[in-house]
Amino acid sequence: MSQPRIDEDEARSLARALVADLPPARTPVRDFLAAQFDRGLAWINHPPGHGGLGADVRLQAAVNHVIKEAGGPDAFEINPIGHGMCAPTLVVWGTEEQKRRHLRPLFTGEEIWCQLFSEPGAGSDVAGLAARARRDGAEWVADGQKVWTTMAHRSSWGLLIARTDPDAVKHQGLTAFLLDMSAPGVEVRPLYQLTGEAEFNEVFLDGVRIPDAARLGRVGDGWKVVLTTLMNERVSIGGVIPPRGSGPIARLVERYRELARTDPATARLHTGAVADLWVRAEVLRLANIRLSQLRTGDTPGPEGSISKIIAADLNKDVYSELVTLMGAEGLLYESYDKVRPVLAMEYSTPQKAFLRSRANSIEGGTSEVMKNVLAERVLGLPGDPRADKDVPWRDIPRS
Ligand SMILES: Cc1cc2nc3c(=O)[nH]c(=O)nc-3n(C[C@H](O)[C@H](O)[C@H](O)COP(=O)(O)OP(=O)(O)OC[C@H]3O[C@@H](n4cnc5c(N)ncnc54)[C@H](O)[C@@H]3O)c2cc1C
């Protein structure tokens, strides 16, 4: 894609004009996000008309910064799976019609999206998935079960990967679809997590009819679509560039300061640990800035796995230290009422954030799998043994 010569100053002034014309404090969230999309400031690298200006992807950070400073809404928080994973996949693989239909309501949060990849027998090895889609004239008929589907209970659309050719080797017999979550035969059931919330779900597909026009990419190209999504997912989870000292580390430092006032002797015992975590948070932030500057194409590379691993461990350690500083209060839990959250990743209390952080090294690919990706794709080390690589999926033993 040829990129217009917009520099960082111009990107900033476009964002300033947006917040001046639609002051966030007086503008309904959806109206603001619709205007952000229409002015090409949603995903600045997307083509004009699809939420972007066809500009350098690295300029988005400058736009986001201006909007955040002005108190504007964050489209990612409203629709994290849609914004971070489905939209970048749609823009690479979608037809013009699919992009026109889906990107705007996805960005404004009118239509929430989920990612229907994992299954009970296929998580790390997602290419081994068993949900089937069979061709029937101008439609496909899907059957099977997905699991751990974040926000499926609020989603209008899902990015579905299904097996369309069981005779092909496992990576080749897959096809991607845009699934209307209100279609007959789609059933969503809650899965309650350690936090007491059901942020994710099981999704059952029973004879669900999907028009061929909702196929994403060519038949058999599902694995390539999956890779686009996963590369974006890793950066979307681990590659965040917050202002220095903000986010979880700010919560920890604030708590430490409070303890230093009320119980300086105990606080002193924790000074080294808190400083160490602050340094780690800052190193990750700087590394993410560097990674984002190195990025040129629309899809991030395997380096995104570095941030994903580091962010997972850091987040766990920060919240662990935070509840430790809280002493006995850290053991109190606000409520164990079973909740179906409206927003994913809403960590109201440190205790909830501590429990939720345990999932960071699993969601979006486990830390062990990220290490395999880094070993093979970045360091060029020999690959994991893959005995089923050349075997038709139908013949691979399954439990
Ligand atoms: C909070 C949360 C939200 C999620 N949201 C979604 C979602 O929206 N959509 C979706 O599709 N999925 C989602 N997932 C699923 C997630 O992608 C999977 O849980 C993850 O990929 C691991 O798969 P698994 O749970 O089947 O574990 P398994 O693959 O069974 O792994 C079990 C253990 O074996 C290790 N392991 C597996 N293979 C290897 C290997 N080759 N080398 C070394 N170690 C290995 C793993 O690291 C892990 O410790 C979510 C998960 C969580 C926790």
Q: Rounded to an integer, what distance in angstroms lies between the CA atom of residue 169 and that of residue 396?
A: 9
Among 237, 366, 386, 388, say which to mutate for ligand 1: greatest number of ligand atoms within 8 Å of CB: 366
List the structure tokens of 109: 């949060």
Q: Mind listing the pLDDT tens digit for each residue in 291-317?
A: 877 776 667 777 788 889 999 999 999
Residue 28 in domain: yes
Q: Which candidate, 318, 255, 323, 241, places its Cα nearest to that of 284?
A: 241
Which range is least confidently modeled, 272-276, 296-300, 368-372? Answer: 296-300
Helix (H/G/I), strand (E/B), else coil: 267: helix
Q: In terms of domains, do 137 and 234 share one?
A: no
Residue 394 in domain: no
Cβ proximity of 329 and 183 under 8 Å: no
What is the CATH classification number for the domain harbouring 215? Answer: 2.40.110.10
Residue 177 in domain: yes
2, pLDDT greater than 60? no
Among 149, 155, 202, 369, say which to mutate for ligand 1: greatest number of ligand atoms within 8 Å of CB: 369
Helix (H/G/I), strand (E/B), else coil: 1: coil
Residue 293 in domain: yes
Q: In terms of domains, do 24 and 43 share one?
A: yes
Q: In terms of domains, do 48 and 132 share one?
A: no
CA-150 nearest atom, ligand 1 = 8
In this prediction, residues 334-356 reach a mean pLDDT of: 79
The angle subtended at Cα 109 by Cα 105 and Cα 115, nearest 5°, is 90
Element (H, E) at 134: strand 132-136
CA-152 nearest atom, ligand 1 = 8
Q: In terms of domains, do 86 and 126 share one?
A: no
Residue ending a domain, choose from 221, 245, 269:
221
Q: Mind listing the pLDDT tens digit for each residue in 96-126?
A: 999 999 999 999 999 999 999 999 999 999 9
Give the β-pairing of 113-116 and 157-163. Answer: parallel
- Give percent above pLDDT 70 in the chain: 97
82: left (phi over 0), alpha (psi -120 to 50) or beta: alpha
Amino acid at 142: A
Q: In terms of domains, do 244 and 141 share one?
A: no
Q: In terms of domains, do 268 and 240 share one?
A: yes
Cβ proximity of 338 and 301 under 8 Å: no
Distance (angstroms) between ligand 1 centre and the Cα of 352 equals: 21
Q: In terms of domains, do 265 and 251 share one?
A: yes
384 lines ligand 1 (CB under 6 A): yes
What is the CATH classification number for the domain harbouring 299? Answer: 1.20.140.10
Distance (angstroms) between ligand 1 centre and the Cα of 362 equals: 5
Q: Mind listing the pLDDT tens digit for each residue in 33-72?
A: 999 999 999 999 999 999 999 998 889 989 999 999 999 9
What is the CATH classification number for the domain harbouring 63? Answer: 1.10.540.10
Q: Which candidate, 138, 140, 136, 184, places its Cα nearest to that of 160?
A: 140
- The closest residue, in CA terms, to atom 3 on ligand 1 is 363
Helix (H/G/I), strand (E/B), else coil: 46: coil
CA-384 nearest atom, ligand 1 = 41
* Environment class of 272 (CB within 10 Å of its CB; exposed 0-12, middle 13-18, buried 19+): exposed
Q: Rounded to an integer, what distance in angstroms lies between the CA atom of residue 179 and that of residue 223?
A: 17
Distance (angstroms) between ligand 1 centre and the Cα of 232 equals: 16
pLDDT of residue 345: 59
Cβ proximity of 103 and 83 under 8 Å: no
Distance (angstroms) between ligand 1 centre and the Cα of 31 equals: 37
Place of tokens 């500083």: 325
Note if 233 is an active site residue: yes
Residues facing 159 on adjacent strands: 115, 178
341 lines ligand 1 (CB under 6 A): no
- The closest residue, in CA terms, to atom 13 on ligand 1 is 148
Q: How many domains does the chain have?
A: 3
Q: In terms of domains, do 197 and 281 share one?
A: no
Which range is least confidently modeled, 144-158, 309-323, 343-357? Answer: 343-357
Residue 272 in domain: yes
CA-116 nearest atom, ligand 1 = 11
Cβ proximity of 259 and 252 under 8 Å: no
Residue of 111, 119, 197, 233 with catalytic role:
233
Residue ending a domain, choose from 108, 138, 168:
108
Residue 330 in domain: yes
130 lines ligand 1 (CB under 6 A): no
Residue 383 in domain: no
Residue ending a domain, choose from 63, 86, 108:
108
1, pLDDT greater than 60? no
Cβ proximity of 316 and 357 under 8 Å: yes
* Environment class of 141 (CB within 10 Å of its CB; exposed 0-12, middle 13-18, buried 19+): middle
Element (H, E) at 145: strand 139-147
360 lines ligand 1 (CB under 6 A): no
Distance (angstroms) between ligand 1 centre and the Cα of 116 equals: 13
Q: Mind listing the pLDDT tens digit for each residue in 174-189?
A: 999 999 999 999 999 9
Q: In terms of domains, do 211 and 236 share one?
A: no
Q: How confident is the model at residue 151 (pLDDT cuts 50, 70, 90)?
A: very high
CA-364 nearest atom, ligand 1 = 17
333: left (phi over 0), alpha (psi -120 to 50) or beta: beta
Cβ proximity of 82 and 229 under 8 Å: no
Distance (angstroms) between ligand 1 centre and the Cα of 390 equals: 23
CA-372 nearest atom, ligand 1 = 42
Residue 89 in domain: yes
Distance (angstroms) between ligand 1 centre and the Cα of 85 equals: 17
| Residue 369: domain span | 227-378
Q: In terms of domains, do 268 and 349 share one?
A: yes
Q: Rounded to an integer, what distance in angstroms lies between the CA atom of residue 260 and that of residue 262?
A: 6
Q: In terms of domains, do 122 and 235 share one?
A: no
Q: In terms of domains, do 207 and 118 share one?
A: yes
145 lines ligand 1 (CB under 6 A): no
Q: Provide CB contacts within 8 A for 154, sequence distance 6+.
A: 112, 342
Cβ proximity of 273 and 224 under 8 Å: no
